[in-house]
Amino acid sequence: MKKITRTLLVGISALVALGTLSACSGGSSNQATSSSETPTTATTTAAPTAFPASGRYIADMTAPDGKTMTIGISVDGDQVAAYACNGTDDEAWFFGNQADGKIDIKSRFRDTLNAKFDGANVEGDLNMNGVAYQFTAAPVSGEAGMYTAELDGIRASWVVREDGSAIGVQFGTSSVGDITQAEIQQLNDAQFRAEVRNKRQLQQAQQITRLSNGKMSSKINGQDVTPTLVNGSFRLG
């Protein structure tokens, strides 16, 4: 009888020990699963990327009417000049400064340009005549960039791509009537577009070509002009 009792006690002790090991093993497994289900992640905010000392960038965008809207951007130090046009009846110049790789400037006709440098390209938003565009402008070199020329109060401007193709608009006069600057300031954006912005006389610019001497050439109203390359410090008078 004592032998049987001793055997039972040994068996019970073994079962208790086995149960204890199983419980410890199960706890470790649950902790690992919980950790894998809720991993700890660190969130970081990328610092703005500064522009190089000098750079030129170009992007083509498609307008709702199917026309191509093209923008050229030139940066020199903290100074920025940009020009956007559709090659027929719309254009805008933008002048201002960039800071920490970011651009936020407005044209004299209330168009807006907001962009940032990502280390290679300029990505941004352009609003022209109430139409919003998104773009990624790649860096360009050589003869590519923005060009402009003026003759007798008429200005023609172009964006020349790296493949030599170009798009440009000629700006003649603006028929805003007798509206004063004080009255213009009181106009909302829709009124301004109707009564000021879209009163400009715009037309397709003449073809721009590169001569054997390396200079650019075009015509304004039939007369030869020599367009100049626009850098970030360029400003209209």
**pTM to 2 decimal places:** 0.79
Tell me the per-residue pLDDT of 98-146, one tens digit each, with 9 for 90 and over: 999 999 999 999 999 999 999 999 999 999 999 999 999 999 999 999 9
**Dihedral sign, Cα of residue 218, residue 224, residue 226, residue 232:** negative
How far apart (Å, rounded) are the C-alpha atoms in residues 121 and 137?
A: 6
Tell me the per-residue pLDDT of 78-109, one tens digit each, with 9 for 90 and over: 999 999 999 999 999 999 999 999 999 999 99
What average pLDDT does the segment 30-42 reach? 33
Share of the chain above pLDDT 90, in %: 71
Would you state the structure tokens that stand for residue 24, as one six-digit string? Answer: 């410890």
For 35, 37, 46, the CA distances from 41, given in Å and listed in that order, are: 12, 12, 16
What average pLDDT does the segment 197-208 reach? 95
According to the model, what pLDDT value does residue 79 have? 98
For 10, 11, 15, 28, 155, the CA distances from 22, given in Å and listed in that order, are: 19, 17, 11, 10, 87
Instruction: Give me the half-sphere count of Cα atoms (radius 13 Å) on the Cβ side of residue 161.
Output: 12
